[in-house]
């Protein structure tokens, strides 16, 4: 048979297999190729009418290429004839690319609803309880999407997918499942880099970012994570009632540590408690089917209205488990004090064994016979989780909050189903070791630093245990010395340099290298014996320390992009016997070049920013490939 024909038949067969797999499992298909409802959008600022059609097109095409689902257009109020012409052009362009384009006739920051964070507090999830409150409302009313603006910060041009990920994961852990990324400022001039911005308010996410060409891997991570966390229903065992007279953010920040990691919870206020909750068949139940086993009264509920007390009494009389504080006084002058204390005494009566004071939530749940939904054999693991339940499967999202790798045994409240790990960073799906334990399943997971994985329980099985074949990686070669490094043009660095030892660019005596910002390509040749190809599989390239993002190309074949620790990529089909060429394109941040342009006597400035974010004595960031670069493999 003709080799080309054989290749075509194999390609068609492979394509057909993928299509059939996606049709048979729409959840898996959505994970691999997230729909627009899961894709992040961005805030796109047009600064005071400084816009051009040519640069608008570049902005929009970059968004489409990166996987952005759409944008919120700000400052849409200039209304000059030239402005209207560009706006009309933009709407047609975005429609043709199927990008959403809502717009707002304001500059975006003029109607913010709360104070912005101080620089020292930037890029911290100060509003985790706000997210949890919004997510709780969504769960209760049956809404599956929770959207919020993310990563507003004040440390310019210093963020990468790796250091943004823990913040994104914390938001996901609290119920967010669709991101709006601020801020992306339109860049009307091609000769001003990194260009315009809205002064100290970032995260400066636009096509002028050094890593803009690799933004797609970050968007894919957010979209895959969001998609799975939009599926099914959130699983929670506790409803946390936080009172009637305070905003959730001021009341419950950090105090939710009283909810053990082994269970999850939703917030409820008086409106939800009075109008949405009933007690049916042993659960506090909403109209949309959310179920909670325990109602926890936060310390802010020491003041309570008569109406809320009456509703709680109806729960208790029906057998509902209530714990937390005991109300001390009515909320206002209109409430009848005598009736208030009568109700309190009836509810918190020794006759009601289902009402407790002084017990932990864990103790109350155990008393109610509620098994832990999620637990780890290592008490110091520092994990967060979300459980979503579908008709045919259970999906757990599990996040390693540590900067170190961990091998952990985790027990889930699911039984009788096969287990898979779904990796949102890459889209990889793999089997994993598991064992049935009574009515639960124990799963062994190898977490990378700041990792997040989905543990998916789907197909029914009677196989009580599964163990993957043990594979031990062998170090084959360390690629040391002889690196030729080529620098991105017009960034102040020489065309190329030789590097025998991999070090940060900031240690180089050449100021063009020291202050370089952009993409540098490291290249060298290495030999692969035929013996390796015959006797090894699972070839893995470990890049060691990278600042900040690396794309690997072997023998002209693009392998992939590594954007977080560990910087590793599988390279199985790229190697050949004999000489092999490796190219590693490493992209750092703008910070060092901006600092370099601030040095005394520097006349050939490369960067332009709308305000002086950095000074000549500001700290340089480690940059480039520092390695060691090691090729590993597993014996066949």
pLDDT for residue 207 is more than 70: yes
Phi-psi region of 312 (alpha: psi -120 to 50; beta: other; left: phi over 0): alpha
Predicted local distance difference test score (pLDDT) of residue 251: 53
Choose one of 210, 229, 248: the last residue of a domain. Answer: 229
Shared-domain flag, residues 130 and 149: yes
Choose one of 367, 397, 416: the last residue of a domain. Answer: 367
Domain-embedded: residue 3: no
Report how far residue 129's alpha carbon sits from residue 252's, in angstroms, rounded to the nearest whole number. 7
Exposure b/e, 622-632, CB count within 10 A at least 16 = b? bbbbbbebbbb
Q: What is the 3-state secondary structure (H, E, C) of 531-545?
A: HHHHHEEEEEEECEE
pLDDT for residue 254 is more than 50: no
Q: What is the CB-side half-sphere exposure of residue 197 using CA atoms within 13 A?
A: 28
Shared-domain flag, residues 411 and 284: no
The string of pLDDT tens digits covering residues 538-572 is 999 999 999 999 999 999 999 999 999 999 999 98
Tell me, what CATH number does 621's domain have?
A: 2.60.120.260
Query: 3-state DSSP call for residue 353?
Result: coil
In 393-529, alpha helices (H): 511-514
pLDDT for residue 16 is more than 70: no
Give Cα separations from 140 to 64, 293, 295 (angstroms).
Answer: 34, 15, 14
The string of pLDDT tens digits covering residues 54-111 is 999 999 999 999 999 999 888 655 678 888 899 999 999 999 999 988 876 655 544 4
Shared-domain flag, residues 154 and 290: no
Domain-embedded: residue 284: yes
State the Rg of the chain over Cα. 28
β partners of residue 608: 194
User: Which structural domain range is residue 113 located in?
Assistant: 29-229
Predicted local distance difference test score (pLDDT) of residue 203: 84
Report how far residue 113's alpha carbon sits from residue 129's, in angstroms, rounded to the nearest whole number. 16
Phi, psi values for residue 133, rounded to 5°: -65, -45
pLDDT for residue 18 is more than 50: no
The enclosing H or E element of 510 equals none
Q: What is the mean pLDDT of the chain?
A: 90
Domain-embedded: residue 551: yes
Domain-embedded: residue 222: yes
Domain-embedded: residue 459: yes
For the residues 522-536, what does the mean pLDDT come to?
97
Least confident of 254-258, 325-329, 410-414: 254-258
> How many domains does the chain divide into?
4
Domain-embedded: residue 318: yes
Choose one of 447, 468, 489: the last residue of a domain. Answer: 468
Report how far residue 544's alpha carbon sits from residue 524's, in angstroms, rounded to the nearest whole number. 17
Predicted local distance difference test score (pLDDT) of residue 610: 86
In 97-214, alpha helices (H): 128-141, 161-173
Predicted local distance difference test score (pLDDT) of residue 123: 43
Predicted local distance difference test score (pLDDT) of residue 11: 40
Predicted local distance difference test score (pLDDT) of residue 88: 92
The enclosing H or E element of 220 equals helix 215-229
pLDDT for residue 431 is more than 60: yes
Q: Are 71 and 108 in contact (CB under 8 A)?
A: no
pTM of the predicted structure, to 2 decimals: 0.92
Tell me, what CATH number does 402's domain have?
A: 2.60.40.1180
- What letter would DSSP give residue 357? S
Shared-domain flag, residues 87 and 221: yes
**If pLDDT is split at 50, 70 and 90, which confidence band does 126 have?**
low
Tell me, what CATH number does 347's domain have?
A: 3.40.50
Which has more confidence, 531 or 331? 531
Q: Are 183 and 198 in contact (CB under 8 A)?
A: yes
Shared-domain flag, residues 203 and 187: yes
Shared-domain flag, residues 615 and 515: yes
In 381-505, alpha helices (H): none
Report how far residue 220's alpha carbon sits from residue 165's, in angstroms, rounded to the nearest whole number. 12
Predicted local distance difference test score (pLDDT) of residue 196: 85
Shared-domain flag, residues 192 and 218: yes
Cβ-Cβ contacts under 8 Å for 631 (sequence gap 6 or more): 475, 476, 477, 478, 479, 526, 539, 540, 541, 542, 571
Query: 3-state DSSP call for residue 118?
Result: coil
Shared-domain flag, residues 299 and 354: yes
- CA nearest neighbour of 493 among 596, 625, 584: 596
- CA nearest neighbour of 624 among 521, 497, 532: 521
**If pLDDT is split at 50, 70 and 90, which confidence band does 623 have?**
very high
Q: Are 298 and 272 in contact (CB under 8 A)?
A: no
- What letter would DSSP give residue 299? G
Domain-embedded: residue 203: yes
For residue 462, the tally of other CB atoms under 10 A from its CB is: 6
Q: Are 201 and 152 in contact (CB under 8 A)?
A: yes
Predicted local distance difference test score (pLDDT) of residue 4: 43
Query: 3-state DSSP call for residue 547?
Result: strand
Tell me, what CATH number does 125's domain have?
A: 3.20.20
**If pLDDT is split at 50, 70 and 90, which confidence band does 376 have?**
very high
Report how far residue 168's alpha carbon sits from residue 181's, in angstroms, rounded to the nearest whole number. 11
Predicted local distance difference test score (pLDDT) of residue 115: 40
Q: Are 235 and 389 in contact (CB under 8 A)?
A: yes
For the residues 575-594, what does the mean pLDDT come to?
97
Q: Are 277 and 286 in contact (CB under 8 A)?
A: yes
Peptide bond into 628 cis (omega under 30): yes
Q: How would DSSP label each residue in 16-41?
A: HHHHHHHHH-HHHHHHHS--GGGS-E
Shared-domain flag, residues 87 and 157: yes
The string of pLDDT tens digits covering residues 271-313 is 999 999 999 999 999 999 999 999 999 888 899 999 999 999 9
For residue 493, the tally of other CB atoms under 10 A from its CB is: 26
Task: Give the distance, in angstroms, between the CA of residue 635 and the centroid of all CA atoms in the same chain.
Answer: 35
Shared-domain flag, residues 462 and 482: no
Shared-domain flag, residues 380 and 279: no
Predicted local distance difference test score (pLDDT) of residue 209: 96
pLDDT for residue 344 is more than 80: yes
Domain-embedded: residue 6: no
Shared-domain flag, residues 245 and 389: no
**If pLDDT is split at 50, 70 and 90, which confidence band does 5 have?**
very low
Q: What is the CB-side half-sphere exposure of residue 509 using CA atoms within 13 A?
A: 1
């Amino acid at each position: 048979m003709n080799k080309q024909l054989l290749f075509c038949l194999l390609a068609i067969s492979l394509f057909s297999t993928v299509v059939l797999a996606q049709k048979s499992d729409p959840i898996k298909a959505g994970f691999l190729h997230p729909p627009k409802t899961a894709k992040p959008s961005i805030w796109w600022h047009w600064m005071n009418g400084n816009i051009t059609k040519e640069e608008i097109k570049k902005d929009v095409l970059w968004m489409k290429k990166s996987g952005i689902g759409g944008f919120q257009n700000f400052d849409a109020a200039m209304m000059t004839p030239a402005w209207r012409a560009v706006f009309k052009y933009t709407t047609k362009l975005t429609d043709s690319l199927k990008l959403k384009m809502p717009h707002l006739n304001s500059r975006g920051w003029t109607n913010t609803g709360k104070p912005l964070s101080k620089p020292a507090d930037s890029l911290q999830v100060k509003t985790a309880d706000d997210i949890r409150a919004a997510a709780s409302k969504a769960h209760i009313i049956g809404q599956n999407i929770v959207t919020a603006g993310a990563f507003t910060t004040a440390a310019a041009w210093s963020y990468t997918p790796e250091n943004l990920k823990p913040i994104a994961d914390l938001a996901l852990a609290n119920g967010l499942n669709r991101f709006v990324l601020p801020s992306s400022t339109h860049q009307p001039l091609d000769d001003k880099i990194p260009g315009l911005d809205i002064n100290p308010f970032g995260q400066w996410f636009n096509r002028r970012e050094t890593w803009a060409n690799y933004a797609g891997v970050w968007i894919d991570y957010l979209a895959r994570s969001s998609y799975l966390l939009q599926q099914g229903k959130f699983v929670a065992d506790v409803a946390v009632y936080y009172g009637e007279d305070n905003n959730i953010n001021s009341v419950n920040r950090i105090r939710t540590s009283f909810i053990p990691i082994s269970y999850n919870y939703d917030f409820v206020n008086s409106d939800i408690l009075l109008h949405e909750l009933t007690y049916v068949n042993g659960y506090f139940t909403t109209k949309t089917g959310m179920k909670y086993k325990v109602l926890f009264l936060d310390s802010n509920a020491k003041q309570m209205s008569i109406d809320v007390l009456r509703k709680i009494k109806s729960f208790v009389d029906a057998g509902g488990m209530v714990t937390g504080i005991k109300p001390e006084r009515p909320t206002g002058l209109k409430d009848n004090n005598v009736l208030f204390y009568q109700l309190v005494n009836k509810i918190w009566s020794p006759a009601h064994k289902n009402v407790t004071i002084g017990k932990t939530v864990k103790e109350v749940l155990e008393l109610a016979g509620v098994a832990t939904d999620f637990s780890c054999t290592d008490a110091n693991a520092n994990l967060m989780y979300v459980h979503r339940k579908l008709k045919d499967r259970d999906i757990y999202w599990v996040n390693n909050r540590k900067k170190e790798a961990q091998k952990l045994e985790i027990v889930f409240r699911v039984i009788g189903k096969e287990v898979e790990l779904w990796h949102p960073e890459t889209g990889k799906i793999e089997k994993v070791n598991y064992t049935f334990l009574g009515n639960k399943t124990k799963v062994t997971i190898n977490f990378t630093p700041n990792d997040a994985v989905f543990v998916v329980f789907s197909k029914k099985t009677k196989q009580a245990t599964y163990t993957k074949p043990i594979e031990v990686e062998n170090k084959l070669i360390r690629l040391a010395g002889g690196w030729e490094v080529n620098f991105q043009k017009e960034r102040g660095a020489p065309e190329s340099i030789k590097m025998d030892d991999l070090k940060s660019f900031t240690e180089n005596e050449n100021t063009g290298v020291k202050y370089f910002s952009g993409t540098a390509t490291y290249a060298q040749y290495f030999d692969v014996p035929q013996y390796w190809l015959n006797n090894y599989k699972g070839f893995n390239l470990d890049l060691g320390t990278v600042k900040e993002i690396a794309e690997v190309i072997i023998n002209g074949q693009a392998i992939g992009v590594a954007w977080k620790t560990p910087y590793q990529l599988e390279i199985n089909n790229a190697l050949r016997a004999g000489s092999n060429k490796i190219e590693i394109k490493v992209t750092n941040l703008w910070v060092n070049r901006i600092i370099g342009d601030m040095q005394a006597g520097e006349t050939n400035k490369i960067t332009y920013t709308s305000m002086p974010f950095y000074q000549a004595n500001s700290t340089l960031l480690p940059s480039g490939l520092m390695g060691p670069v090691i090729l590993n493999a597993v014996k066949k």
